[in-house]
Amino acid sequence: MKKRLVMIGNGMAGVRTVEEILKKDAQSFDITIIGDENHPNYNRIMLSNVLQGKTTVNEININDWDWYKENNINLLTGEKVIKIDRENKVVITDQKKQISYDELIIATGSSAFILPIPGSDLEGVIGFRTIEDTEKMMETAEMYKKAVVIGGGLLGLEAARGLIDRGMDVHVVHIMPTLMEQQLDAAAANLLRKDLEAQGMKFLMEKQTAEICGETRVESLKFTDGTSVDCDLVVMAVGIRPNVAIAKEAGLEVNRAIVVNDHMVTTDDFIYAVGECAEHRGIAYGLVAPLYEQGIALANHITGKEGIGYQGSILSTQLKVAGCDLFSGGKIHEDDQTEAIIVHDQFAKKYKKILITDNKIVGIVLYGDASDGNRLFNMMKKQADISEYTSTSVLSSADASGEEDLVATMSAEDTVCGCNGVTKGTIVQSILEQGLTTFEQVKGCTKAGGSCGKCKPMVESILAHTLGDSFDASAQKMGMCSCTELTRDEVVAQILEKGLKTPKEVRNVLGFAHEEGCSKCRPALNYYMRMLLPEEYEDDKASRFVNEKMEGNIQKDGTFSVIPRMYGGTTTAEDLIRIGEVAKKYNVPLVKVTGASRIGLYGVKKEDVPQMWEDLGMRSGYAYSKSLRNVKSCVGSRFCRFGTQDSLGLGIKLEQAIEMVDTPHKMKMGITGCPRNCAEVLTKDYGVVCVENGYQIYFGGNGGTEVRECDLLTTVKTEEEVITLAKAYVQLYREHANYGERTAPWVERVGVEWVKETLLKEKNIKLLAERFERAKGTYQEAWSSILQDEKKKEMYQVVRN
């Protein structure tokens, strides 16, 4: 008869424990997991990446809903256990369910610590711990502009970076004189602060918050020194508090957390605790690597495979903030028992320090180049004797042992992926037993490299070392989605070679794992087919995102924005009157001049969008699309005394020439009438600077999360050349970029010189521009087909002319 195994909590440590149990003995347990969040198991480490806009909530799921079904796990979400009845071996939930257990795992994790100060209960004061916290921060950034993060530790800095990326003005308040004082010494912390300040982060150091002020919502913070700062959002990142109330009420021994032995057993032999809610040898850990080690120890105990149990962990830290590369582990400050080797290159902003006791590494602090972090950390954990190393060689793998030698000398217990607690032994075993040959396969099987990604080079080295001569370096690629291992280039080549005509045919012939595709490949294949076969392929609107289907951007409350096209930001009295009448008719709550110099109608109900476009009788501004959004321009020589050319007129012509045509991602262009650059063209996908002798052409810029300044392509003499080069550039991008890839990363990937070399050949320019025009013709035909009466046709002709 199977044992009834119940787990309270559906977080990373608990579910990792269940994964290990299933690996060791999948037949002996009926498993029930109870989680109070309405989500499957997800990676909390990646919440900062969600906030920074680098990934989505769905993409941070560790185990999706199907995983629970496939493993016959009874999952209860959005439900909280309120009592453990130890005498009857029953847990009781807030929905009055009584669930019996033979063995019980408490994996309740921890909660964000909220400072007990006046005003901490105001609206706009939150922690940073869950998907809900992250979504609230993202929603707040849409409505408000000033944020304060209390806490200059790892989590606080990641939260601050994410809010900056969301457009907020952010102050970080920290009670100590330096940042991340538990992981960095003063020298490394000062380098970090300078880098973060350069990214727009502001710091209020040695400040203690006395009160959060506001009537119903936070308005400001007051400090004990009498100063204050205005804000609309306060994020508490001052620590965590283990969730132990239910264990304490059940009579289990609890100090700071639930007391456990080396096998994660509590003071009740049938109840275990794992993760942030557990206290082992007086320590409650908050990082994922030790929690996963606890899970393995507990799984061994529950399945009868007794070992030495959990012996505690030496901790290491990496920061996931753009542009900052740091690693620390063990001790960070010198004392009477340690000697330090320090290299501090202030010009290159690199800092390396290792602390040594009795010829063994006991501490590591790296900033600016953390590539040796894992190597040094594993040497520290193994207590390797470094007496034969020179001061320089111990700090650098390049001078010590090569990477292959390093992999060869690593033990099976050495951690490779700190985020997911994956050891070299686990990776090697999976490669050999599962026949893995690529990094993507290793990641899918072991989760190594599946979080921050910094361990990818090491994983690939282990793969190469394990496979030896059978390792195929050319096979180390990433498929365009989870349905296929084929890359974008391979899929496109196969479409042309095999004469495939529909996305469904592509998926069937090329052996995609899912016949209907996925949310990633459906829109991508629809784009590739239309790009490759503009005159043959009929656009599949069902494969487009909701924004494109509705011709409006969906807002956070489910309403839409409707933004008509206004070439160069110009309009007429008739259009303004029409927009006003439509806004009044549909009770539009917000009418706003957008950053792209257009008038936007926000808060439109979904059911009103089609009729609103009908009433407006205006072209869409494509503010929602993967295509040219707008061409930003100044007034140029028409009015400005500094203008050298008619940048406004050229901007309108350029917008009309490029509009409508789908591109891999959104595009923004700009034309400025003189080198003073009022139109900010040097961070556009395609930028034009008007000068006395013509037009300077720039490409590949981005003004978003990670700013990239344009590269200069050439200088041309006429407006016609500007427009022709734009068509050729857009078509080159259309034909060679991955779907969803902006021009800035595309240019970095294919190489600036390759783009220049291609676009500076007259023959290429002509062919690319011609192919763009052929594609443009199909979009014009599609637009013409929806014009239903003569009045609209006349208006269309006026717009086009």
Q: Residue 27: what residue type?
A: Q
Q: Which of 235, 192, 187 is nearest to 212 (CA)?
A: 235
SS3 content of the chain, % helix, strand, coil (to 5): 35, 20, 40
Question: Which string of DSSP letters, residue by residue, matches 212-256?
Answer: EE-SSB--EEEETTS-EEE-SEEEE-S-EEE--HHHHHTT--BSS
In sequence order, the β-bridge partners of residue 360 are: 357, 385
Kind and range of the H or E run holding 722 = helix 719-736
- Map tokens 């078509």 to a residue: 731
Query: How many Cα neighbours within 13 Å face the side chain of 285?
Result: 25
149: left (phi over 0), alpha (psi -120 to 50) or beta: beta
Q: How far are the Cα atoms of 177, 190, 193, 702 from residue 204, in angstroms, in the given order?
A: 9, 14, 11, 30
678 is in an annotated binding site: yes
CB burial of residue 219 (10 Å; 0-12, 13-18, 19+) = middle
Q: Which of 123, 175, 130 is nearest to 149 (CA)?
A: 175
Distance of alpha carbon 135 from its chain centroid, rounded?
13
Neighbours of 795 (CB within 10 A): 15
Query: How many Cα neighbours within 13 Å face the side chain of 36?
Result: 15
Neighbours of 120 (CB within 10 A): 15
CB burial of residue 234 (10 Å; 0-12, 13-18, 19+) = buried
Cα 342 from Cα 333, distance rounded (Å)? 12
Contact 358, 386 (CB under 8 A): no
Cα 439 from Cα 422, distance rounded (Å)? 14
- Quote the tokens at residue 100: 């019996």
Cα 446 from Cα 590, distance rounded (Å)? 49
Question: Which string of DSSP letters, residue by residue, matches 91-102?
Answer: EEETT--EEE-S
What count of residues does the chain have? 801
445 is in an annotated binding site: no
184: left (phi over 0), alpha (psi -120 to 50) or beta: beta
In the annotated binding site for [4Fe-4S] cluster, the residues are 634, 640, 674, 678
In the annotated binding site for siroheme, the residues are 678
In the annotated binding site, the residues are 634, 640, 674, 678
